[in-house]
Structure 1
Amino acid sequence: MHYDDSVDSSRQYLRLALEMIGKNGLPTDPLNYCIWYEYASGKNGKLNAAIDNHLQSNLSFSEEISRQLFNQYVAAESETVSALVSEELKKVFAEIIDAIKTTNQHFSKSETNLETINESIVPSLSESDLERIVGQIKREIKTLESSGGSFKEQLEQATREIDHLKTKLVRYRHEALKDPLTQINNRRGFEKTLKDTIGKARTNGTSLCLIIADIDYFKKINDTHGHLVGDNVLRMVAATIKESIKGRDLAARVGGEEFAILLPDTPFAGAMKLAEDIRVSFERLDLKKKNTGESLGKITLSFGVANYKKDEVAEDFVNRADEALYQSKNTGRNKVTGV
């Protein structure tokens, strides 16, 4: 997110953002500020279209919807949520320094230290950077408190705000890796884990397999029964896959109706068996609508399975699993193909 708005424009966008936040009963936290400021500015077409569709459907907004909008249309476009936390940290710094300046005591050393730390805060804070900076801030606050300043309550409030921001950053980063519909990992979470898992497989010389699965004729389900039923099918598929794996195995939704299963320390034969077991479990299901009892027909999945090759890059590994999936699709669907 890069903003070069004029002062007048930014004030107008902020006013509109606050109005929308209040109108939709949302908390005025950094995440909602960011979403609705972007909406008010009209610079993020995809975000605006998603929000407009939501509003036109007379659906309410919630914390979960806000996180989903941010992860999909804001963070994914440019930067991580740490930029928001960085800005909030800077606000806390400003409050502390203002408090120092309004007292009759001189804390020039702490003021200088705080300003130095403040200058080190950049939008792309890593976990370790954040840990280090928070530690430095707290040490300076302790020094100020022990000096007998008359603004102890303000310092205590600043400490609470810093702890809250740190917790919020960790939570947002965790949620940014999750698919909000199915509550399993999304593509970003999958790619992050894949990179780490490949590194361990290379170092340890252990086996690693990948299964890519796709729901057959999913568009027909949506067209026939509606998107709410389609969403329930996606949740059911995700839950079934998650229940079928264990330990360090990872399940992720990597596309609309496409899922990935990452299997460290699993031989190729074991991955093929798992894919076949999951395939059969779906083939045997007879799903019905809860409210009418109407049958949804057979829900089947096609699978592609790949065994990691030594020194193979992640992209090639995934592409081979995808090619195996396409082979399953092109030769009748509801089958498992390994490469």
Structure 2
Amino acid sequence: MLRYIESKPASAEIFRMVIQKMAEWGCAFTPVHYTVVYEYVSGINPPLIEAVNGLLKQSSSLVGEDLEKIFVKYIVPDYVLPLNDYRGSLAKQLQSILQNISSSTTRTAQEAERVKNGMESYSHSLQEDGLDEKTFRTLVDAVLKDTLSIRESSSSLNAELLKNQKKIDCLQDELRIAREEAMVDPLTEILNRRGFSTKINDLFREGKFSGIPCALLMIDIDHFKKINDSYGHIIGDKAIIAVSKVLRGSVGENVFIGRVGGEEFAVFSPKTTSEEGLALAERLRQNIMKIEITNPSTRQKISTMTVSIGIDLAPFSGEWERMFERADKALYASKSSGRNKVTLWTSKTPDIKNSKNPSGSNS
């Protein structure tokens, strides 16, 4: 589907308007934010325009998290999530490939049948008495000609199969890339919530780690709204990216991480004991405290960044989603007891319902 088809002069004018709007609304200059504002300015996405106007009625600036939600709801479905259009195109291409192969196979089969009948006729002729030299040479030439014909037909079929195999391989690669992109958070380039859940579901279906103790960590940046309000959304996005980089650099190869909310992350660590899970959570908490983000206008370091962490440890099973619930409860317990803490879920962990605001202030 061609979505952006403006002429060069028109696209230049839209680009100028997009930059102006992004500056006016206080948007961070990221690909996701640019795409949202581009579709707003160009007028090609009415539902998105209505959603943005609704936000602008509430505030003159646009929060990065709100823009990302709009991107996922009004833009991503057209490209990645359903993949319906792509599947339709893929089906047509596969149908064409199969028709080509079928046609080549039919031609080869017909040629083989013709040669078979010819060979039987030549065999009978060669067994006849009184066969003269001229007739013998004619039969030999015919046998050689038909042998060459069936060889060429077989070579043609093999070439067709090879060519179409390459086409199928390309289609498979395109589909794989599209599916992978649907699982990735565009800001941090780590798994999004959908991708994170899919990865764990795949592990369970494959029978990996079944019944083996695993750890699930829920991590939330403390006072994230205050960071946005005090330093702007560009700094807020930098904080989210910085945390994602620390997570990637602090876990092992077989540990999965994802951004499952605005400032919320999840870490799944298989084959992990209670001691190892708590040690991992504490290491992440301390490493995140070392993050240094500079305010571009003052070139000064912003205040120390901290996170609250909730952790659940349980044998891996088909009910792994309950680990999310328990780790979430532990996370809220960390935030309600002062933040910048690690809490391990137990049966005594309180069920704090006031999510995102456990002690009267956001995050």
What is the TM-score when the length of structure 2 is the normalising length? Answer: 0.57
| Number of the residue aligned with 2:310 | 304
Q: How far apart, CA to CA, are the structure 2 residues paired with 1:273 and 1:203? A: 20
Per the alignment, do residues 198 and 108 of structure 1 end up closer, same or farther by CA in structure 2, a change over 3 Å counting? closer
Q: How far apart, CA to CA, are the structure 2 residues paired with 1:209 and 1:156? A: 47
Per the alignment, do residues 92 and 70 of structure 1 end up closer, same or farther by CA in structure 2, a change over 3 Å counting? farther
Q: Which has the larger radius of gyration?
A: 2
Per the alignment, do residues 108 and 316 of structure 1 end up closer, same or farther by CA in structure 2, a change over 3 Å counting? closer
Q: How far apart, CA to CA, are the structure 2 residues paired with 1:21 and 1:192? A: 40
Q: How far apart, CA to CA, are the structure 2 residues paired with 1:237 and 1:320? A: 23
| Number of the residue aligned with 1:167 | 173
Give how far 1:170 is off.
1.3
Per the alignment, do residues 75 and 262 of structure 1 end up closer, same or farther by CA in structure 2, a change over 3 Å counting? farther
| Number of the residue aligned with 1:260 | 266
The structure 2 residue matched to 1:84, chosen from 70, 83, 86, is 86
Q: How far apart, CA to CA, are the structure 1 residues paired with 2:185 and 2:306? A: 22
Give how far 1:327 is off.
0.6
Q: How far apart, CA to CA, are the structure 2 residues paired with 1:318 and 1:217? A: 22
Q: Which amino acid aligns with 2:5?
A: E
* Identical amino acids, percent of aligned pairs: 31
Does residue 91 of structure 2 align to residue 72 of structure 1? no
SS of the equivalent of 2:191 reads coil
Give how far 1:222 is off.
1.5
Give how far 1:292 is off.
3.5
| Number of the residue aligned with 2:191 | 185
1:164-200, CA deviations, whole angstroms, 9 ceiling, x for partnerless residues? Answer: 4332111111121111111111111110122233456
| Number of the residue aligned with 1:220 | 226
| Number of the residue aligned with 2:337 | 331
CA RMSD of aligned residues (A): 4.5
Structure 2 gaps, min length 5 = 13-35, 56-60, 62-70, 108-149, 346-363
**Displaced runs of 4 or more, over 6 A:** 38-44, 67-71, 154-160, 200-203
Give how far 1:230 is off.
1.2
Superposition map of 1:1-339 within 5 A:
17=3, 19-20=5-6, 45-46=47-48, 72-74=76-78, 79-80=82-83, 83-90=85-92, 93=95, 109=106, 146=153, 162-198=168-204, 204-290=210-296, 292-309=298-315, 311=317, 313-339=319-345
Give aligned pairs, total: 257
What is the TM-score when the length of structure 1 is the normalising length? Answer: 0.61
Structure 1 gaps, min length 5 = 1-13, 26-34, 58-66, 101-105, 111-142
